[in-house]
Structure 1
Amino acid sequence: MKVLKIILFIIAVLILLVVILGFLGPKDYDVNRSVIIDAPKEIVYKEVSDLSNMLEWDAWKAKDPTMQVTIHGPGDEVGSYRRWESEESGIGEQKLVNLVPNERVDSELRFIEPFEDKASGYSLVKDAEGGTELTLGFKGENKFMSRVMAMVGMDMESMVGPMFEQEVNNIKAIAERKAGEQATSMTNIKDSKYSFGIQQRPALSFVLKRDVVKLENMKDFYSSHLPAIYNAVGASGAAPSGMPCGIYYSWDEENGETDMCAAVPVATADIRIEGYETVTLPAGRVAKVAYYGDYEGIGEAHYAMDDYLKANGLEQNGPVIEQYVTDPGAEPDTSKWLTDIFYHVK
């Protein structure tokens, strides 16, 4: 009986200790880390305001390679959210709730499994000596047992702080690399013979043939399908609404192939021709460059466009369109052949 009383006394003391620690422990937590980045605010802000960019610097994803992450919505607008799921990391969501361009990002974190909880995340961007100061933070309410754990050294600061330290340094490396690329691109653009522009493009409909084509077979692909599409459009009673186009969804030099279309613009999306698709590309923002010359040299214009996008912090967002404005049969001088190149951008 005496032993039982001692055991009960010890249990009572432990319970009392837990209660005391729970009342004394911090009610809230706010964990953050900061770093100075040698890059413009715009570049740093873009890294933290687009959920898709997090895949590059997310410390939790790096720690748990089995984590499956999906982005819902555009990724860089209020209401967009990312969902993660794995055995090790559980299930949760992060939703963008406030965006102040080049200043701050606020998000709502919801933990679903193995426990339910919520917290707030924030990213602060501001000018600082030596570049841009970035702060990543995470705050919320400590529940009773979390307050107890915090009093014995197992608090959010010790668990989350090192991960934020890793993330701000990951972002620093990425942003400084992109700033260097941007500076190089700005120099290249300054010396470029090409002129560029940004414009809003209306929705465009095409009758087209799409396929994955080896790079050395592109010319044959065009010659096989563009005349046939023109003839088929005419036979349907419709008429082309512009000069022929090449539409590129991917360009894979390593494997020597491209996902491309031979396309003829049409005024309506109602045309149906056997063996071909009728596709409408939605209206959107495009960067344009005009290239004069034989098609064999058009790659130079694409490289110049790549510099232009980097120099202006623009991100490609859709297929590339080449419109072959000059009819080679009507103009023998290749230096006068005009190709308008359009890159869809955010």
Structure 2
Amino acid sequence: MKALKIILFIIAVLILLFIILGFIGPKTYDVSRSIELDAPIEMVYEQVSDLSNMVDWDPWKEQMPDMKTTINGPGDEVGSYRRWESSESVGEEWLVELIPNKSVETELRFIEPFEMTSKGYHDLETTEDGKTSLSIGFKGENSFMGRAMSMLPGMNMDAQIGPMFEKGLQNISGILETKVAEQKASQEKLRNAEYAFGLQEMPERSFILKRATIALSDMKTFYASNLGNIYTAIGVSGREPAGQPCGIYYTWDEETGTSDMCAAIPVSDKNLKIEGFETVTLPSSRVVKVPYYGDYTGLSDVHLAIDDYIKANGLTQDGPVIEEYITDPETEPDPSKWLTNIYYMIK
């Protein structure tokens, strides 16, 4: 009986101590970590402002290998959010405020195994030596239990979350090292490029088209069997094409040898409907444009050069690729005079 009383007394003291800690513990928490990155501030901002990029460097995914993440919304606009689910945790992160190349504010909503809301922040600044200082953190209000726990050695938010932020920053550093190296390599290649690169605004464009996923080896046949039919169908409708024939590429997969692509003819009426074909309107967009003179077999080199141009200038592709075939090979026998305009839609 005496031993039981001692045990109960100890338990009572521990409970009282826990209550006292809850009253005197910090009401708020603010955990952050910083790093200096040898990368342009625009490139760093892209990593912390786009939810799809955040998934790549998220340190928690290594601790929760069964974690599944879904992105709702564009991913790089206010109101977009990502939701993660695993056997250990369920939650959401919402983009609340974006100030380009300066700061990103998010709201973290923890759902399981406990409910809690925190403010996440990512602050960027260019240093005097041209590097980028990045700080990542989150803050909020401690619950009564959180206030008590934060007073125990190794149990406060900084001790629990700080190392994870450090891991995330190291992940970002690794990603950016690769991107900077690619950018420098692309810049070096461009010094020897023979193409004229241009940045311009492309207005909204509408097309009558046939879309399919085909083998790369069947592209010539695909164009031959569809472009003529589209021209004929437009003529039967009483309309005329609004430009030269185009190829529109949504994917290009060298591993499978396939492409999700379209044989397309531009039209001025985006409401025009023709049975057997699709009407697609591409929105106005900034584009990288390259005019290329030569045989179609040289187009692959142009695309590689445009990829280098995009990387070298820190741009991001945002939409399909358009090849506009200005010259008709049937009327111009000299391939060196065949003009193809190539457009890459970018953000």
TM tier, smaller: over 0.9
Contact 2:204 2:284 in 1 (8 A): yes
Aligned to 1:170: 171
Aligned to 1:56: 56
Per the normalisation by structure 2, the TM-score is 0.94
Aligned to 1:307: 308
* Offset at residue 272 of structure 1 (A): 2.6
* Offset at residue 271 of structure 1 (A): 2.7
What is the identity, as a one-letter code, of the residue corresponding to 2:282? L
Q: 2:27 and 2:283 mapped to 1: Cα distance?
A: 50
Contact 1:37 1:130 in 2 (8 A): no
Q: How do 1:253-292 residues align onto structure 2 when only pairs under 5 Å count? A: 253-292=254-293
Q: 1:140 and 1:32 mapped to 2: Cα distance?
A: 12
The one-character-per-residue Cα deviations of 1:180-226 (angstroms, maximum 9, x if unpaired) are 21122222223321111222222211111111111111011111111
The one-character-per-residue Cα deviations of 1:110-130 (angstroms, maximum 9, x if unpaired) are 112222111111112222347
Aligned to 2:16: 16
* Offset at residue 5 of structure 1 (A): 4.9
Contact 2:88 2:113 in 1 (8 A): no
Once the two structures are overlaid, the 10-residue window that deviates more, 42-51 or 273-282, is 273-282
Asked if residue 97 in structure 1 is aligned to residue 107 in structure 2, the reply is no
Aligned to 1:196: 197
What is the identity, as a one-letter code, of the residue corresponding to 2:80? S
Q: 2:321 and 2:239 mapped to 1: Cα distance?
A: 25
Q: 2:167 and 2:2 mapped to 1: Cα distance?
A: 54
Other structure's SS at 2:54 match: helix
* Offset at residue 273 of structure 1 (A): 2.4
Q: How do 1:213-232 residues align onto structure 2 when only pairs under 5 Å count? A: 213-232=214-233
* Offset at residue 338 of structure 1 (A): 0.7
What is the identity, as a one-letter code, of the residue corresponding to 1:54? M
Asked if residue 317 in structure 1 is aligned to residue 340 in structure 2, the reply is no
* Offset at residue 4 of structure 1 (A): 6.1
Aligned to 1:110: 109
Q: 2:346 and 2:34 mapped to 1: Cα distance?
A: 31
What is the identity, as a one-letter code, of the residue corresponding to 2:50? D
What is the identity, as a one-letter code, of the residue corresponding to 2:56? E
Aligned to 1:342: 343
Contact 1:36 1:130 in 2 (8 A): no
Q: 1:36 and 1:242 mapped to 2: Cα distance?
A: 50
Once the two structures are overlaid, the 10-residue window that deviates more, 200-209 or 253-262, is 200-209
Contact 2:104 2:123 in 1 (8 A): yes
What is the identity, as a one-letter code, of the residue corresponding to 2:76? D
Could you list the runs of 4 or more consecutive aligned residues of structure 1 that deviate by over 6 angstroms after TM superposition?
none
* Offset at residue 3 of structure 1 (A): 6.0
Aligned to 1:80: 80
Other structure's SS at 1:193 match: coil
Q: 2:245 and 2:151 mapped to 1: Cα distance?
A: 71
Other structure's SS at 2:252 match: strand
Q: 2:140 and 2:196 mapped to 1: Cα distance?
A: 51
* Offset at residue 133 of structure 1 (A): 1.9
* Offset at residue 6 of structure 1 (A): 4.3
Q: 1:81 and 1:290 mapped to 2: Cα distance?
A: 39
Once the two structures are overlaid, the 10-residue window that deviates more, 123-132 or 185-194, is 123-132
Q: 1:185 and 1:4 mapped to 2: Cα distance?
A: 75
Aligned to 1:205: 206
The one-character-per-residue Cα deviations of 1:300-326 (angstroms, maximum 9, x if unpaired) are 110111011111111111110101011
Once the two structures are overlaid, the 10-residue window that deviates more, 271-280 or 38-47, is 271-280
Q: 1:278 and 1:344 mapped to 2: Cα distance?
A: 19
Once the two structures are overlaid, the 10-residue window that deviates more, 293-302 or 32-41, is 32-41
The one-character-per-residue Cα deviations of 1:21-64 (angstroms, maximum 9, x if unpaired) are 11222222221222221212111111111111011100112322
The one-character-per-residue Cα deviations of 1:161-198 (angstroms, maximum 9, x if unpaired) are 11111110000011121112112222222332111122
Structure 2 unaligned segments of length 5 or more: list them: none
Structure 1 unaligned segments of length 5 or more: list them: none
Other structure's SS at 2:251 match: strand
Contact 1:325 1:338 in 2 (8 A): yes
Aligned to 2:183: 182
Q: How do 1:327-338 residues align onto structure 2 when only pairs under 5 Å count? A: 327-338=328-339
